[in-house]
Structure 1
Amino acid sequence: MFSIQNITLSYNSKKILDNLSLNINEGSIFGVLGRNGAGKTTLFESIFQNTRYHGKIVLQDQPIYKRDISYLESENYFYPYLSVNDILNLFIHDNEDEKITRLTNFFNIPTDAIVEKLSLGTKKKLAILCNILIDRPIYLFDEPFNGLDFESVEKFYFIIDDLKKRNKIVLISSHIMETLTNCCDYIGHLQNGKFAKIYLSEEYHLIRTHLTEDIQKDWVSYINI
């Protein structure tokens, strides 16, 4: 089990994560839904040990390390003058050429192209491919759907399902509800530094209702100023 235990993190006296806790079993896909600025990336940076926090994050009751995690950041950077093949060679092991060929064909990624010449969406697909080539027990995908066209989004769902079948722990953040309801076993609504509610799949129809209620409260407060 992967466990986040009462983590708190503040910037300039403002709490971004506030006594947040979460438990996720192996083979589970957990969605993190929240507004822009809700703390989704801060949560992932904390899990990846990129930032200091108070509390504990453990895997199988042991401290978590970067070597346990494959992390797709929301903004991806590649050396612009390397080819796709050059990039992929940094991630593959022996006897994986056939696997790479199948995956690049599946994602329609031209392997001989220079990274600088790739479209935004193709760069995102390359970043996803690099991350799934790293065999880790935990996968973090921060806003992975940004820049993907509708076909690539559907293909990414197959990748996520394969990770689930391989008993991996996957966390996916998004501010777009539908991308999470299509692939997650649970969705946590991150609000005010903690999960306001964690929805089971049979409760997904309630998410929009609850979000709309929050927006309506904001609107009423705004027009009454």
Structure 2
Amino acid sequence: MLEIKNVNVEFKNQKVLNDLNLSIEEGCILGVLGKNGAGKTTLFESVYQSIKFSGNINWKDERLQRKQISYLETENYFYPYITGEEYLAYFLSKKESEITDIVKKFNLPLKKYVQYYSSGMKKKLALIGMLMLDKPINILDEPFNGVDFEGVHILYDIIRQLKSENKVVIISSHIIETLFHTCDKIAVLQNGKIEKVYNKEDFSQLNTLKF
């Protein structure tokens, strides 16, 4: 289990996360829902340990280590003169046959420089790299942004595959229907805290909330 306990983050004397608590079981797909500026990305960066925070984040009763996490950020940076093929060569994987199938489905021009990719193509390439890391905890910050209709359905398949491998998947999306379609639970982040966690049978209640 991934356990986030009493996590606080403060920027310029303003609290963004305020004694935030959250527990996520293995094999769970958790959506994080909140208004712009609610702290979703701050929460993800705290889990990824790329910013300073107070509190505890544990994985299987031990302190979480960054090497246990794959993180797909909202905006992905690539060196300008690198091909898709060269980018993927940086990643080691014990799932190469599975990744090959995904590459074929995404139909990316891997011989071309990434600087000529569309934003959706860059998102797909970053996603493949993330999957190749094969980590137990996977964070996807707005993964559906800029992805075409076909790519969205491939993403659904990938997320289901991660669940079948008993991995933790944490997703944010401003398109609430994508969370309904993929998640086992949805956590609402407001005022720097997780206000409530909804199970799948209660997702309809979220339609009454404003985000």
Asked if TM exceeds 0.5, the reply is yes
Q: Identity across aligned pairs (percent)?
A: 47
Distance, in Å, in 1 between the alignment partners of 2:32 and 2:185 is 9
Stretches (4+) displaced over 2 A:
92-96, 98-101
Corresponding residue SS for 1:204 = helix
Distance, in Å, in 2 between the alignment partners of 1:139 and 1:38 is 21
Corresponding residue SS for 2:133 = coil
**Deviation of the 1:57 alpha carbon:** 0.3
For 2:45, the equivalent position in structure 1 comes to 45
Change (3 A) 1:94 1:185: closer
Structure 1 residue 104 corresponds to structure 2 residue 103: yes
Corresponding residue SS for 1:133 = helix
**Deviation of the 1:176 alpha carbon:** 2.1
RMSD, aligned CA? 1.4
Change (3 A) 1:22 1:95: closer
**Deviation of the 1:175 alpha carbon:** 2.1
Distance, in Å, in 2 between the alignment partners of 1:73 and 1:210 is 26
**Deviation of the 1:95 alpha carbon:** 8.6
For 1:114, the equivalent position in structure 2 comes to 113
Distance, in Å, in 2 between the alignment partners of 1:160 and 1:173 is 13
Distance, in Å, in 1 between the alignment partners of 2:128 and 2:176 is 23
For 2:31, the equivalent position in structure 1 comes to 31
Change (3 A) 1:95 1:65: closer
Structure 1: unaligned runs, 5 residues or longer:
216-225
For 1:200, the equivalent position in structure 2 comes to 199
How many aligned residue pairs are there?
Answer: 211
Distance, in Å, in 2 between the alignment partners of 1:149 and 1:140 is 20
Distance, in Å, in 1 between the alignment partners of 2:157 and 2:93 is 22
For 2:140, the equivalent position in structure 1 comes to 141
Distance, in Å, in 1 between the alignment partners of 2:6 and 2:84 is 41
Superposed counterparts of 1:1-225, under 5 Å? 1-93=1-93, 96=96, 98-211=97-210
Distance, in Å, in 1 between the alignment partners of 2:208 and 2:145 is 24
Structure 2: unaligned runs, 5 residues or longer:
none
Give the TM-score taking structure 1 as reference length: 0.90
Distance, in Å, in 1 between the alignment partners of 2:16 and 2:111 is 42
Distance, in Å, in 1 between the alignment partners of 2:168 and 2:70 is 10
Give the TM-score taking structure 2 as reference length: 0.96
The answer as to whether partners of 2:33 and 2:187 remain within 8 angstroms in 1 is yes
Change (3 A) 1:95 1:60: closer
**Deviation of the 1:100 alpha carbon:** 4.0
Corresponding residue SS for 2:92 = coil
Listed one character per residue, the Cα deviations across residues 21-66 of structure 1 (whole Å, up to 9, x for unaligned) are 0111100000001111110000000001111111100001100111
Change (3 A) 1:149 1:13: same
Corresponding residue SS for 1:76 = coil
